[in-house]
Amino acid sequence: MRKNILYAQSGGPTAVINASAGGVISEAQKLGIGRVFAGINGIEGILNENLRDVTQLSQEDVRLLQHTPGAAFGSCRYKLAEFDKAPDVYRKISEIFQKYDIGCFFYNGGNDSMDTCCKIARYFAETNTPCQVIGIPKTIDNDLAETDHCPGFGSAAKYIATAIHEIALDTASYPKGKVTVVEIMGRDAGWLAASSIVANHCGAGPDLIYLPEKPFDIDAFAEDVKKVYGKKHRCLVAVAEGIKDEQGNYLTVYQGKDTFNHVQMGGTAYRVAKLLEERGFKTRAVELNLPQRCAAHLMSRTDRNEAIKSGKEAVRQFTKGATNCMIAIKRTYVNGKYRAKYFAVPLENVANAVKHVPSRYILPHGQISSDLLPYILPLMEGTVPQRYSNGIPHYFKSDITD
Amino acid sequence: MRKNILYAQSGGPTAVINASAGGVISEAQKLGIGRVFAGINGIEGILNENLRDVTQLSQEDVRLLQHTPGAAFGSCRYKLAEFDKAPDVYRKISEIFQKYDIGCFFYNGGNDSMDTCCKIARYFAETNTPCQVIGIPKTIDNDLAETDHCPGFGSAAKYIATAIHEIALDTASYPKGKVTVVEIMGRDAGWLAASSIVANHCGAGPDLIYLPEKPFDIDAFAEDVKKVYGKKHRCLVAVAEGIKDEQGNYLTVYQGKDTFNHVQMGGTAYRVAKLLEERGFKTRAVELNLPQRCAAHLMSRTDRNEAIKSGKEAVRQFTKGATNCMIAIKRTYVNGKYRAKYFAVPLENVANAVKHVPSRYILPHGQISSDLLPYILPLMEGTVPQRYSNGIPHYFKSDITD
C-alpha cells in the first residue's frame, strides 16, 4: 500500500481553508501516516511536480496556519477535461502520484474542484491505481449539495452581518440619507446575502434583500425602495452579485467569463444604484468585495473548528479506505445545543451541483424569512482570538506569498 | 453663569466618534456640570430644537456608546453661511442656546465643522453671548491642522492595514494573478492610503501606493505595474480615492458635489483598473468603502482611548473658561513609550485648513517611505474587546437608528 498523502487547495480562498489544511496535516502527524505533501497551486502545480513536504510542519506553524486567510499553498482555477479529451494529463497525474507514493489525494475546494476530484477518482478506479481521492468542502457560497453547510460560509456570514450592521449604524447618521446598495458575493446561490438578516435581528440591517434565486424586477424594487424611503428617509439594500432580471440576464455591468465559463461578477451594486438614480433617488454603492472571503480577523470559531475537523475527518476516512467521496457535515442538536457530525458522501452527488436557498425563505418585497435564522446563527458563533503584531493580525507566511 | 452644555456630531462618522461623546458625557457627570444635551443631527437638528437630555445616561450605556460606530446622535453636512448672509440663523442659535441655558457648545467634527464652530464662536464674542465654543476633533482622514493626529484615524488605519494584508494573502493564491487595485478613502490627504505600508512591514501588502499629494501619471504608473507584474505575476495597488492627474483632475468617474462644494469620490479603483485593462492587464477593483470609517469591531484601543480623552479634555477646558478652540493632541515619548497629551488650539488655525502627508515620505515609483511607520504604528496599537450577541458585535442603539 502507498504510504504518503497529498493535499491541495482549489478555487477562491476562504477565511478558513487553511484551517482544513491544518486539520489534514495535524491528523496525519498524529496517526503517523507517511509523508504529507502539499501541492502548490492545486492540480496545476501538481502537474508541474510543484510539491512541498509539510510532514514536519511545527505545531506553532499549524496553529498559525489555522488562523490565516488566503490559500497558503496556492490555488488554481484549472478545468480538468474529460479523459478522452486529455488522456496525457490523467497519465501525468498518475505518474507523479506513483513517483511520490501517494496513497490519497485530498482536494479542498467547491463544486468545480469536486468535479476534478470525481474525474480523477473515476480514472484511478478504471486503471486500478492504488490511490484514494477525498474531497474536503470549502466555499463561502454555501452552495455544495449533500452537506448541511460548507466550511467558509460561517465566517463569511459573520463578516457580512457585522459589516452591514456597522454600515446600517453609519448610514443612519444623516437626517435625509441616501439609498445605500450593498453588494454581497454569491453568483448562483443567495446564502451570503440572506445572512445579512442577522443584522436586522440585532436591530439595524438591510431594509431590502435580493437573492439570485428569484428574478429581480427593477420596477417592483423601485416601489419597495420608495416605500422604505418615505418612512425612514433612508434605505439600506443588500443585493447578491448574481441577481438576474426576468429574462435571466445578470444585472452586473462587467461580464467576463472564467475558465469554467462562469460569468465573473462585480459592479452589480453600481448598476442597481444607477437604475435608482435614473428614478430620482440619491444613492451610494458599496461592494463588500474580497474581505468577505478573507477577513480572518473576524472568523467564526464554529466555522474555523469545523474546517479543521473536516480536514481531520478526511484523513480518518482515508485510513478507513474511503474514496471517490467528499466530507460532509450533518447538523444535530444535543439538549438543544448545535453540534456538527462528519461523514462521507459520493463525489458524483456533489460535483457541479448547486444548493440554492429554498424558495420558502424568500418572501415578496425584498424580505427574507426570519425562519432562516436558526440555520445561520450557530454557524457564526464564537470568535477566534488572533495574535496582533504592529497593530494587525499576525498570519502564517508561506513561500507563495513572496 | 449658564449651567448646561450641548454636544453634537457633524460630518462623516468614524469608528470612535461616539467614544468622544462618551468622554464628554462621563466627564460632565463626574464634574457635576448641569444638564448635558445632545443635539440630534448636529447644527441642523439644533436649529430645529431637536435636543436630547443625556445627563442621566447610565454607565453601561456610556460604555456601550464608546464601542459603537456611526454617529449615535446623528450627523449633518450643514454649511453655516457667513453672518451677513444669514443673520437669522445666528440669532436662532443664540435664542435656543439661551432657552436651554447652554454655557458651552461642543462640536465633534472635521475641518468643515471647525469652520462652523469658529463662526459661532466669533458671533458669540461679538454679541457678548455667555457661551463658550469648543471643537472636538474627528476625522478618519487625519488632515486637521495643529494636532499631531486625529481621533478616528488610528482605527481606520488599523482596519485598512488589516484588510489590505488579508487581501494581499488572498490575491497571492493564484499562480498567474491579476492587478488588484484597492481604493482607500482620502480626498485631499493620503494618510489612510499611506497607512497601508504597515501591511508591507508585516510581510504582505501593496506593491504600489499612490496619494492625492502627488500628480498621478498613468503612463509611469503602468510602467511600475509592468515591472512588479514581471517579477511576481501579480500586483497589488493601493490608491487614495482623491488621486489627480497632472492637470489636477480627479481620476474618479463620479463627480457630484456636496454642500461644501467638495467633489464626492468613488469609483477611482474602477477607473484605474479600466486604464490598466486598456493597456492589456487583467484587473480587479476593490473599494474598501464605508467599513473604513465604521468597522468598530476592529477599532484601535489607542485611538478609542484618545477619542474618549479628547471628549473629557473638552469638558475640562470648558471649566477653565476656554473658548473658540479645538482640542488637539501632542505626541510625547516617555522612556521610549508613546504618550498623548491634550491641549487647546485656536479654531482659526484649524478651520478649513488641510494637513497633507509631507512630500519627504512620498517616494518615486509608488513607494512610501518606511520612515512614516513610527508615526502611524502607535496610533493603531491595541484592540478593544467587543461583546458579541448572535455572532456579531453588540452596539448601542440610539433612537436615530429606528
Could you tell me if A1 lies within 8 Å of chain B, comparing CB atoms? no
**Chain B 292-331, CB below 8 Å of chain A: which residues?**
293-298, 300
Could you tell me if A369 lies within 8 Å of chain B, comparing CB atoms? no
Q: What is the CATH number of the domain that holds A321?
A: 3.40.50.450
Inter-chain CB proximity B170 and A70 less than 8 Å: yes
Number of domains in chain B: 2
Residue A89: per-residue pLDDT:
97
Say how far apart CA B135 and CA B80 lie, in whole Å: 15
What residue in A sits closest to B288 (Cα-Cα)? A288
Would you give the distance in Å from CA B396 to the centre of its chain?
A: 20
B90: phi then psi, degrees, rounded to nearest 5: -65, -40
Instruction: Out of A266, A298, A390, name the one closest to residue B201 (CB).
Output: A390
Judge if B266 and B325 occupy the same domain. Answer: no
In a domain, A365, yes or no: no
What residue in A sits closest to B14 (Cα-Cα)? A170
3-class SS at B154? helix
Judge if A147 and A86 occupy the same domain. Answer: yes
Say how far apart CA A34 and CA A2 lie, in whole Å: 9
Residue B400: per-residue pLDDT:
67
The H or E element containing residue B239 is: strand B235-240
What residue in B sits closest to A303 (Cα-Cα)? B391
Q: Hey, what long-range contacts does B275-283 have (CB within 8 A, 24 or more apart)?
A: B275/B218, B275/B222, B276/B179, B276/B181, B276/B222, B276/B225, B279/B222, B281/B178, B281/B179, B281/B222, B281/B225, B281/B229, B282/B178, B282/B179, B283/B178, B283/B179, B283/B180, B283/B181
Say how far apart CA B154 and CA B139 lie, in whole Å: 10
Inter-chain CB proximity A287 and B284 less than 8 Å: no
What residue in B sits closest to A199 (Cα-Cα)? B392
Cβ contact A162:A303 at 8 Å: no
Produce one character per residue of A154-165: b if its CB has 16 or more CB atoms within 10 Å, e if not: bbbbbbbbbbbb
Provide the grid cell at A93.
497525474
Provide the grid cell at B372.
512614516
Cβ contact B293:B14 at 8 Å: yes
Inter-chain CB proximity B69 and A202 less than 8 Å: no
How many Å is the Cα radius of gyration of chain A? 22
H-state helical runs in B77-217? 87-99, 111-126, 153-171, 191-194, 197-201
Inter-chain CB proximity B389 and A201 less than 8 Å: no
Catalytic residue among A112, A115, A141, A207: A141
DSSP tag of B260: T
Judge if B24 and B38 occupy the same domain. Answer: yes
Could you tell me if A278 lies within 8 Å of chain B, comparing CB atoms? no
Per residue in B132-183, pLDDT tens? 999 999 999 999 999 999 999 999 999 999 999 999 999 999 988 999 999 9
In a domain, A57, yes or no: yes
Burial class (CB in 10 A: 0-12, 13-18, 19+), A246: exposed
In a domain, B50, yes or no: yes
Could you tell me if A49 lies within 8 Å of chain B, comparing CB atoms? no
Residue A176: per-residue pLDDT:
87
| Domain coverage including residue A312 | 4-151+298-353+383-392
Each residue's pLDDT expressed in tens, for chain B with a length of 402 residues:
889 999 999 999 999 999 999 999 999 999 999 999 999 999 999 999 999 999 999 999 999 999 999 999 999 999 899 999 999 999 999 999 999 999 999 999 999 999 999 999 999 999 999 999 999 999 999 999 999 999 999 999 999 999 999 999 999 999 889 999 999 999 999 999 999 999 999 999 999 999 999 999 999 999 999 999 999 999 999 999 999 999 998 888 554 555 555 555 558 998 899 899 999 999 999 999 999 999 999 999 999 999 999 999 999 999 999 999 999 999 999 999 999 999 999 999 999 889 999 999 999 999 999 999 999 999 999 999 999 999 999 999 877 665
Judge if B60 and B146 occupy the same domain. Answer: yes
Say how far apart CA B376 and CA B391 lie, in whole Å: 31
In a domain, A367, yes or no: no
Domain C-terminal end among B252, B271, B294: B294
Q: Which residues of chain A does B77 touch, with a Cβ-Cβ cutoff of 8 Å?
A: 174
Inter-chain CB proximity B397 and A203 less than 8 Å: yes
Inter-chain CB proximity A290 and B293 less than 8 Å: no
Q: What is the CATH number of the domain that holds B210?
A: 3.40.50.460
In a domain, A360, yes or no: no
In a domain, A213, yes or no: yes
Q: Which residues of B are the active-site residues?
A: 141
Inter-chain CB proximity A390 and B286 less than 8 Å: no
Angle at the Cα of A305 from the Cα atoms of A302 and A310, rounded to 5 degrees: 120
Inter-chain CB proximity B41 and A9 less than 8 Å: no
ipTM, interface predicted TM-score of the complex: 0.96
Judge if A259 and A162 occupy the same domain. Answer: yes
Residue B274: per-residue pLDDT:
87
Would you give the distance in Å from CA A279 to the centre of its chain?
A: 35
Inter-chain CB proximity B13 and A389 less than 8 Å: no
Q: Which residues of chain A does B41 touch, with a Cβ-Cβ cutoff of 8 Å?
A: 174-175
Instruction: Out of A202, A290, A388, name the one closest to residue B170 (CB).
Output: A290
In a domain, B256, yes or no: yes
Provide the grid cell at B349.
488655525
Considering only CA atoms, which of A35, A46, A103, A111 is closest in space to residue A73?
A46
Burial class (CB in 10 A: 0-12, 13-18, 19+), A3: exposed
Residue A274: per-residue pLDDT:
87
Cβ contact B381:B235 at 8 Å: no
> Is A141 annotated as catalytic?
yes
Judge if B284 and B314 occupy the same domain. Answer: no
Domain C-terminal end among B251, B271, B294: B294
Judge if B39 and B123 occupy the same domain. Answer: yes
In a domain, A276, yes or no: yes
List, in order, residues 6 or more apart from A167 with CB less than 8 Å away. Answer: A180, A182, A236, A286, B290, B291, B294
H-state helical runs in A207-267? 218-232
Residue B8 bridge partners (DSSP): B39, B107
Considering only CA atoms, which of A276, A180, A179 is closest in space to residue A230?
A179
What residue in A sits closest to B173 (Cα-Cα)? A74
Could you tell me if A202 lies within 8 Å of chain B, comparing CB atoms? yes
Please tell me the distance in Å from A127's CA to the nearest CA on chain B: 30
Residue type, A20: S
Cβ contact A66:A38 at 8 Å: no
Provide the grid cell at B89.
440663523
Cβ contact B33:B54 at 8 Å: no
Domain C-terminal end among A294, A313, A338: A294
Inter-chain CB proximity A391 and B377 less than 8 Å: yes
3-class SS at A147? coil
Judge if B140 and B44 occupy the same domain. Answer: yes
Could you tell me if B383 lies within 8 Å of chain A, comparing CB atoms? yes
Instruction: Out of B172, B287, B401, name the one closest to residue A169 (CB).
Output: B401
Could you tell me if A151 lies within 8 Å of chain B, comparing CB atoms? no
Q: Which residues of chain A does B69 touch, with a Cβ-Cβ cutoff of 8 Å?
A: 166, 169-170
Judge if B220 and B145 occupy the same domain. Answer: no
The H or E element containing residue B5 is: strand B4-9
Instruction: Out of A175, A267, A391, name the one closest to residue B76 (CB).
Output: A175
Judge if A8 and A146 occupy the same domain. Answer: yes
Judge if A72 and A178 occupy the same domain. Answer: no
Q: Which residues of chain A does B203 touch, with a Cβ-Cβ cutoff of 8 Å?
A: 397, 401
Q: Are strands A51-53 and A36-39 parallel, antiparallel or unpaired?
A: antiparallel
pTM of the model: 0.96
Say how far apart CA B368 and CA A248 lie, in whole Å: 46
Interface test with B, best of A73, A140, A169 (most B CBs within 10 A): A169
Could you tell me if A389 lies within 8 Å of chain B, comparing CB atoms? yes
Q: Which residues of chain A does B180 touch, with a Cβ-Cβ cutoff of 8 Å?
A: 290
What residue in A sits closest to B170 (Cα-Cα)? A70
Burial class (CB in 10 A: 0-12, 13-18, 19+), A279: middle
Inter-chain CB proximity B174 and A77 less than 8 Å: yes
Say how far apart CA A159 and CA A198 lie, in whole Å: 11
Cβ contact B205:B196 at 8 Å: yes
Cβ contact B8:B314 at 8 Å: no
Give me the residues of chain A with pLDDT under 50, please.
255
Judge if A139 and A112 occupy the same domain. Answer: yes
3-class SS at A31? helix
Residue A85: per-residue pLDDT:
96
The H or E element containing residue B7 is: strand B4-9
